[in-house]
């Protein structure tokens, strides 16, 4: 599926789409809460994806896209087990991602965004206030997001049936941890307990965003590189550098020529 075909499909579905940052899974926008409230327009698409530009596209889930929800399975085994417990998902619109599957569904009433674990990995129910990377975007690992069944439509499901399916396969809901008191409390907690695969990207984003502007670029790189080495499995310094650049892209202190964040002047 090429860019024109993808844009036509998303327009037909009346979904809100936004640009995705190169080599990342996050929006290439300084803020995207606007697009959680209203659909983007063809005029904006022309600015984001001009002729010849690489099509890096995200679909905003939730009410702005008609109540669309995406089941983000981080590995194929989880997708297989979920489809066994809920067979109607097999014929639902599905995307092959870099590592697993995205199953697009249409609950009869909007379900909340949530995170669950299975097979030692973290998976997501992407709903209100979330977005997913969509075809034909290239995953950071080099693979291309592809529709398995582009002619299919999101399955209409009952939320109670989805909950029953998750319970049947032993999916454990991840409850958000309360942050320790004080602005720095959650940072200390995060640095003390590096996440495993599935939570690494999200925590690196949070920490890079927190340190952005508070610390010089080289200090942030050293702190987060040492932190990433303790993850299971570890992440490389180059990966950490890319995260810092991505977070800093819209910071006025970011120097695009040298790729560094200038120390704050006080």
CA–CA gap between residue 92 and residue 198 (Å, rounded) = 24
Non-local CB neighbours of 258 within 8 Å, separated by 6+ positions: none
Q: Which residue has the higher pLDDT, 19 or 231?
A: 19
Say if residue 144's pLDDT is above 90.
yes
Structure confidence by residue, pLDDT tens digits, 157-193: 999 999 999 999 998 877 655 545 555 567 777 888 8
Task: Indicate if the alpha-carbon torsion angle 143, 149, 153, 158 is positive or negative.
Answer: negative
Return the CATH number of 3-173, one of 2.60.40.1930, 3.90.1660.10, 3.40.50.1820, 3.30.2250.10: 3.30.2250.10
Q: Which two tokens stand for residue 39?
A: 């659909």
Say if residue 199's pLDDT is above 50.
yes
How far from 208 is each of 33, 107, 224, 240, 253, CA to CA, in Å?
Answer: 20, 35, 8, 9, 14
CA angle (245 as vertex; 241, 246 as ends), nearest 5: 115
Query: Where are the chain's structural domains?
Result: 3-173, 185-261
This model's pTM is above 0.85: no
How far from 235 is each of 168, 218, 232, 246, CA to CA, in Å?
Answer: 33, 17, 8, 16
Q: Which two tokens stand for residue 204?
A: 């690196």
CA–CA gap between residue 186 and residue 107 (Å, rounded) = 34
Structure confidence by residue, pLDDT tens digits, 118-143: 988 899 999 998 999 999 999 888 88
């Amino acid at each position: 599926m090429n860019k024109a075909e993808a844009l036509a499909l998303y327009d037909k579905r009346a979904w809100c789409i936004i640009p995705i940052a190169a080599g990342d899974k996050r929006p290439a926008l300084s803020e995207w809460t606007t697009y959680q409230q209203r659909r983007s327009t063809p005029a904006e698409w022309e600015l984001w994806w001009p002729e010849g530009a690489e099509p890096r596209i995200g679909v905003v889930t939730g009410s702005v896209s008609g109540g669309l929800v995406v089941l983000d399975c981080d590995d194929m085994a989880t997708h297989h087990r979920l489809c066994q417990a809920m067979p109607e998902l097999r014929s639902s619109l599905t995307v092959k991602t870099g590592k697993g599957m995205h199953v697009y569904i249409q609950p009869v009433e909007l379900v909340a965004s949530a995170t669950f674990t299975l097979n030692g990995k973290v998976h997501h129910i992407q709903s209100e206030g979330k977005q997913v990377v969509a075809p034909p975007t290239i995953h950071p690992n080099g693979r291309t997001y592809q529709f398995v069944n582009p002619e299919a439509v999101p399955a209409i499901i009952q939320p109670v049936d989805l909950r029953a399916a998750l319970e049947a396969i032993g999916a454990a809901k991840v409850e958000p941890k309360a942050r320790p008191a004080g602005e720095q409390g959650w940072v200390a907690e995060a640095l003390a307990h590096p996440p495993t695969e599935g939570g690494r990207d999200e925590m690196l984003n949070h920490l890079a965003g927190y340190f952005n502007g508070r610390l010089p670029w080289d200090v942030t790189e050293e702190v987060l590189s040492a932190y990433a080495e303790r993850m299971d499995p570890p992440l490389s310094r180059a990966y950490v550098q890319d995260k810092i650049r991505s977070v800093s892209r819209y910071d006025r202190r970011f120097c695009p020529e040298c790729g560094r964040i200038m120390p704050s002047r006080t």
